[in-house]
Structure 1
């Protein structure tokens, strides 16, 4: 397996982070369905939909958030 070039490390981080965040949020939202037996199907559907929405949001928001963090924080 070839490695992804290091210059894409931010992008890979954002993709993985948004996927994990959506997986956790979908699991929490699916909890009420545990007794119904439909929790796995609902969780997968919820996770996929939320990730498809969240990934572009993370990719587009990251540069603005970075600038905001630099503005709000100082050197000392």
Structure 2
């Protein structure tokens, strides 16, 4: 990777400054986790029915709206608990 690509994400879009990592990490984590959990839960509940996609997307949206702010609130507590349980490198 050359030097000009290290500062961009895709198509010349610049990377965010490091100070945004505290928001970007829970954002990505909440998107992925709610996607997977709602997909499994919806599939278990209604199976592969014609309404599966709309039901799943609705469940995903609601669960993400709850999960993202919760992650922002609890992540500092989880970091402290992890530091109490794990030796430093």
TM-score (norm 1): 0.87
Structure 2 CA distance for partners of 1:74 and 1:29, relative to 1, 3 Å:
same
- The structure where helix makes up a greater share of residues is 1
CA deviations over 1:18-46 (Å, ceiling 9, x no partner) = 11100001110121434420000001000
Secondary structure (helix, strand or coil) at the match of 2:16 reads coil
Of residues 71, 75, 79, the one that matches 1:62 is: 75
Question: In terms of Rg, which structure is larger?
Answer: 2
Corresponding residue for residue 36 of structure 2: 24
Structure 2 runs not aligned, ≥5 long: 1-12
May I ask how many residue pairs the two structures share in their alignment? 76
Structure 2 CA distance for partners of 1:55 and 1:34, relative to 1, 3 Å:
same
| Larger relative contact order (Cα-Cα within 8 Å, sequence gap ≥ 6) | 1
Task: Provide runs of 4+ in structure 1 moved above 3 Å.
Answer: none
Larger deviation, residues 54-63 vs 1-10: 1-10
Cα RMSD, aligned residues only: 1.6
TM-score (norm 2): 0.76
Structure 1 runs not aligned, ≥5 long: none
